[in-house]
Amino acid sequence: MTRIKYAAILTCALLLTARTAFAADARVTIDNFKFSPAQLVVDAGTRVIWTNQDDMPHTVVEATAAPTISSPALDTGDSFAHVFTKAGTYHYYCSVHPYMLGTVVVR
């Protein structure tokens, strides 16, 4: 097999793998001042989409000193998405209503 053919096959395999890794979405609904589900377990590469179904604005902010996940205020019907690329446990909250808590566990 020539180097060009090998490189083309390898490139196609990598593109298919990358597409598969980002194919799945997980969803969190914000309603009645709660994140539902409150805890979500996903594989690395999953895009999580939060959608506000409440009548009040809400945010999604990682509960760390330097959050890497931070949404703008989401009005009714608005969504925010984040792709989780690294395994770990990510705790988040609504900065408008700090008693609203959620967790994403990435494996």
Contact 60, 80 (CB under 8 A): yes
Q: Domain 22-106: state its class.
A: mainly beta
pTM of the model: 0.78
pLDDT digits (tens, 9 = 90+) for 84-106: 999 999 999 999 999 999 999 99
Per-residue pLDDT of 35-62, as tens digits, reads 999 999 999 999 999 999 999 999 999 9
